[in-house]
Amino acid sequence: MSDIIQLLPDHVANQIAAGEVVQRPASVVKELLENAIDAEATSIKLILKDSGKTLVQVIDNGKGMSATDARLSFERHATSKIRSADDLFSLHTKGFRGEALASIAAIAHVELKSKQDADELGTLIAIEGSEIKTQEVTVTPTGTSIAVKHLFFNIPARRNFLKSNTVELRHIIDEFHRVALAHPNIAFAMYHNGSELFNLHDSNYRQRVVHIFGTKTNEKLVPVEETTEVLKISGFVGKPQFAKKTKSEQFFFVNNRFIKSPYLNHAINAAFDGLIKDGHHPIYFLNLTVDPKSIDINIHPTKTEIKFDDEHTLYAILRSSVKHSLGQFNIAPVLDFEYDTNLDTPYNYKDKGAQTPTVEVDRDYNPFREERSFGKQTTAFKKQTPNNWDSLYVGLESKGTRDAQDFSQVEFESEPENVSLFGDQSSHDTAQSTYQFQNKYIISTIKSGMLMIDQHRAHQRILYEGLLKSMTVKEAVSQQLLFPLQLHFTRAELTILKQLQSDLEATGFVFSSIDEKQVEITGLPINVPDSEVSIILEQLIGDVEQEVPDSHFSATDLLAKSMAKSLAIKTGQSLSNLEQEHLVNSLFACKEPSVSPTNRATFITLTIDEVDRKFM
Ligand code: ADP
Ligand code: MG
């Protein structure tokens, strides 16, 4: 029999390795930034085009490479960072596998320029899919520049697998945050499609956190410092009242390397136990320094997991030092001598001139016309003839919640004259057809029994469909604000807002400016009270952040869902009879009345048979 086993050619082996190392543009960003840090750079620039799909370039002022090293750096298992397996136990660098550049060069067009300080001239190497295209001498500053173009050009399946630009950029920003937070003494800048997203000078840790997450963050931070024999902890936790609905501001670094550790995260949660509301997550930025011998980071190629020798001790120390800091902060404000007082003035109004208020008068307003609205959340419902909407329900009898989904098949649109949202103004019949139960459910009788409607979910459905419609036809009405609203956000949040801007405008938002620190809003959708704007936008940003891993990301849909959730009347709000009826009418005028935008049942039914049976 003939032999059938062969060694894989290098470029194939590299492509396979790339599958592990490079999942998306953000992975390239991480590897290149880490190489620049390992090369002892003090200033690092990241340049991106199309969320890294077209270009990821990292330019550093580190120690550079000789011509031979530059060529070797693209070989697999070529590294200057370890020489023997023993070195693995005393790692002081980010990289050690010697895999990243070889993998990246296998699946992209790479151009490297590098020069060492002692040399007059540097080296230029161009590689496409592991194939060297050029190697020549070039004029270039000391340090290294690596440009990675057309990622996955030779693996269309991987390329198609990439998410939208918003999502990919979000992943890149996350990596950038992690690296920049771990190295406050290095200056970082990030540019995307020609505009600057971050420009971080070298600073202390607190300033770095604040520069990334916004001036408002400063007042939220409580320092944590602890030195024991096995572990040194330094950094900050957020005051309990600033806990967030997302985990987006939770960072652990071990020996300057970002790590994820559910176990240590649990220790922090334990320290915050009883101090924060359910469903909220503490903010933390914590650096742990341990003996490199006591950890094993070699267990995962992307290296965010880590194994500690003595996890239990770390857990206990971490929990008690966070608790201690929180306690201290409750008793007396903590003095921080490194504190940068410039960060103290969060808002800068002094350069702003006075604005002439504009007044808008509704000339059609008639104070004697009877009109009601839902408490403080004015909604677009108008009075409507109490057409017996239960007729709409005929044919929809279901046995209970489980079947609720099926109702979506039924055409409600076919009876427009009965269900118009903006009914005529004829007088109202006072006979009561609905009843509010526990300020939470609306009960109504129908021919075959009764309906119990969840007021919050029902209103979400109504608002959701309305918002989707105004976003697609772009005919939303907005109310002009007397005084423009100025809201502050972090850069990352502003990036998300900018991407949603046109959709938000389609719902009636009017932005007069969005710059790198704040947004100014001069108009709002008619059903959005200005007191709620910041809550709505924060919720929206949180939702987008959480949605990131989801492949079915649609900005419009997400925006409509998020706004509907924020604006819908809440459980616990008492509704007048008229309001209850409007709600029910509008619900059944929806295309999919039976489920909320997040696919939960909006109502359940109880047929007369079911009631009868209970009495048997
Ligand atoms: P690793 O970082 O695991 O060693 P890489 O494939 O990322 O492997 O890099 C291979 C080698 O190329 C590194 O060990 C280093 O010697 C060199 N190198 C890569 N990037 C840079 C850079 N920005 N500056 C100087 N040397 C670099
Ligand atoms: Mg590396």
What's the gap in Å between 176 CA and the centre of ligand 2? 15
Q: Which numbered ligand comes closest to the C-alpha of 80?
A: 1
What's the gap in Å between 65 CA and the centre of ligand 1? 9
Residue to mutate, 20, 21, 38, ligand 1, most ligand atoms under 8 Å from C-beta: 38
What's the gap in Å between 172 CA and the centre of ligand 1? 20
Atom of ligand 1 nearest to the CA of 64: 25
What's the gap in Å between 59 CA and the centre of ligand 2? 14
Residue 395 has pLDDT above 60, yes or no: no
What's the gap in Å between 35 CA and the centre of ligand 1? 5
What's the gap in Å between 442 CA and the centre of ligand 2? 61
Residue 71 Cβ contacting ligand 1 at under 6 Å: no
C-alpha 298/C-alpha 294 separation (Å) is: 12
Give the tens place of pLDDT for each residue, 200-237: 999 999 999 999 998 888 989 999 999 998 899 999 99
Angle at 523 between CA 519 and CA 529, to 5 degrees: 95
Residue 406 pLDDT level (bands cut at 50, 70, 90): very low
- Contact (Cβ atoms closer than 8 angstroms) between residue 402 and residue 604: no
What's the gap in Å between 376 CA and the centre of ligand 1? 60
Give the tens place of pLDDT for each residue, 452-466: 999 999 999 999 988
Which of 77-86, 157-166, 290-299, 302-311 reaches the highest mean pLDDT? Answer: 157-166
What's the gap in Å between 218 CA and the centre of ligand 1? 36
- Tell the burial category of 352 from Cβ atoms under 10 Å away from its Cβ (0-12, 13-18, 19+): exposed
Q: What is the pLDDT of residue 129?
A: 92
- Contact (Cβ atoms closer than 8 angstroms) between residue 613 and residue 607: no
Residue 188 Cβ contacting ligand 1 at under 6 Å: no
DSSP secondary structure of 355-399: --------TT--TTS-----TTS--S--------THHHHTT---S
Residue to mutate, 73, 257, 303, ligand 1, most ligand atoms under 8 Å from C-beta: 73
Residue 74 Cβ contacting ligand 1 at under 6 Å: no
Residue 401 pLDDT level (bands cut at 50, 70, 90): very low
Residue 81 Cβ contacting ligand 1 at under 6 Å: yes
Residue 100 Cβ contacting ligand 1 at under 6 Å: yes
- Contact (Cβ atoms closer than 8 angstroms) between residue 604 and residue 400: yes
What's the gap in Å between 184 CA and the centre of ligand 1? 21
DSSP 486: E
Closest CA to 599 of 532, 529, 535, 552: 552
Atom of ligand 1 nearest to the CA of 93: 2
C-alpha 412/C-alpha 131 separation (Å) is: 62
Cβ neighbours of 371 (radius 10 Å) = 13
Residue 425 has pLDDT above 90, yes or no: no
Q: What is the pLDDT of residue 96?
A: 72
Closest CA to 40 of 57, 24, 63, 59: 63
- Tell the burial category of 394 from Cβ atoms under 10 Å away from its Cβ (0-12, 13-18, 19+): exposed
As given in the structure block, the two tokens for residue 306 are 């880590």
First-to-last C-alpha distance (Å) of the chain: 81
C-alpha 59/C-alpha 142 separation (Å) is: 10
Residue 373 pLDDT level (bands cut at 50, 70, 90): very low
As given in the structure block, the two tokens for residue 295 are 């950890």
Domains of the chain: 10-200 (3.30.565.10), 214-329 (3.30.230.10), 432-547+554-615 (3.30.1370.100)
DSSP bridge pairs for 122: 138
Residue to mutate, 29, 58, 79, 88, ligand 1, most ligand atoms under 8 Å from C-beta: 79
C-alpha 156/C-alpha 521 separation (Å) is: 42
What's the gap in Å between 133 CA and the centre of ligand 1? 20
Distance (Å) of CA 473 to CA 508, 559, 593: 12, 15, 21
Residue 353 pLDDT level (bands cut at 50, 70, 90): low
Residue 332 pLDDT level (bands cut at 50, 70, 90): very low
Rounded percentage of the chain residues whose pLDDT exceeds 90: 36
As given in the structure block, the two tokens for residue 565 are 């959730």
Closest CA to 136 of 200, 189, 71, 91: 71
- Three-class secondary structure of residue 108 per DSSP: coil
Closest CA to 303 of 4, 31, 52, 602: 31
What's the gap in Å between 505 CA and the centre of ligand 1? 46
C-alpha 396/C-alpha 399 separation (Å) is: 10
- Contact (Cβ atoms closer than 8 angstroms) between residue 318 and residue 268: yes
Which of 182-196, 437-451, 514-528 reaches the highest mean pLDDT? Answer: 182-196
As given in the structure block, the two tokens for residue 475 are 């005919």
C-alpha 316/C-alpha 312 separation (Å) is: 6
Q: What is the pLDDT of residue 545?
A: 75
Distance, CA of 515 to chain centre: 19
As given in the structure block, the two tokens for residue 382 are 């108008």
Residue 62 Cβ contacting ligand 1 at under 6 Å: yes
Residue 105 Cβ contacting ligand 1 at under 6 Å: no
- Residue entry with tokens 């060069």: 105
DSSP secondary structure of 525-585: ETT--GGGHHHHHHHHHHHHHHHTT-S---HHHHHHHHHHHHHSPPTT----HHHHHHHHH
Q: Which numbered ligand comes closest to the C-alpha of 123?
A: 1
DSSP 465: H
Closest CA to 232 of 343, 317, 111, 136: 317
Residue 137 has pLDDT above 70, yes or no: yes
Task: Please give the order of strands across the beta sheet that includes 518-525.
Answer: 478-488, 518-525, 510-514
Q: Which numbered ligand comes closest to the C-alpha of 142?
A: 1
Residues 6+ apart with CB under 8 A from 154: 107, 129
- Contact (Cβ atoms closer than 8 angstroms) between residue 415 and residue 613: no
Q: What is the pLDDT of residue 382?
A: 39
Residue 36 Cβ contacting ligand 1 at under 6 Å: yes
What's the gap in Å between 19 CA and the centre of ligand 2? 16
- Residue entry with tokens 């997302």: 246
Separate counts of helices (H) and strands (E) for the chain: 17, 22
Region 169-188 average pLDDT: 95
Q: What is the pLDDT of residue 485?
A: 87
Give, using CA atoms, the residue closest to atom 20 of ligand 1: 35
Residue 96 Cβ contacting ligand 1 at under 6 Å: yes
What's the gap in Å between 278 CA and the centre of ligand 2? 40
Give the tens place of pLDDT for each residue, 19-28: 777 889 999 9
What's the gap in Å between 219 CA and the centre of ligand 2? 36
Atom of ligand 1 nearest to the CA of 36: 23
Q: Which numbered ligand comes closest to the C-alpha of 78?
A: 1
Atom of ligand 1 nearest to the CA of 34: 2
Q: What is the pLDDT of residue 56?
A: 98
Q: Which numbered ligand comes closest to the C-alpha of 117?
A: 1
Region 572-601 average pLDDT: 88
Give the tens place of pLDDT for each residue, 33-50: 999 999 999 999 999 999
Atom of ligand 1 nearest to the CA of 102: 6
C-alpha 208/C-alpha 214 separation (Å) is: 10
Region 374-382 average pLDDT: 41
Q: What is the pLDDT of residue 412?
A: 39
Q: Which numbered ligand comes closest to the C-alpha of 37?
A: 1
Residue 610 pLDDT level (bands cut at 50, 70, 90): confident
Give, using CA atoms, the residue closest to atom 21 of ligand 1: 35
Residue 344 pLDDT level (bands cut at 50, 70, 90): very low
pTM: 0.61
Q: What is the pLDDT of residue 430?
A: 44
Window from 86-90, 344-348, 523-527, 532-536 with minimum mean pLDDT: 344-348
Atom of ligand 1 nearest to the CA of 58: 23
Torsions phi, psi of 320, nearest 5?
-70, -35
What's the gap in Å between 561 CA and the centre of ligand 2? 41
Gyration radius of the chain over CA positions: 30
Residue 605 Cβ contacting ligand 1 at under 6 Å: no
Give, using CA atoms, the residue closest to atom 25 of ligand 1: 64
Residue 238 Cβ contacting ligand 1 at under 6 Å: no
- Contact (Cβ atoms closer than 8 angstroms) between residue 573 and residue 580: no
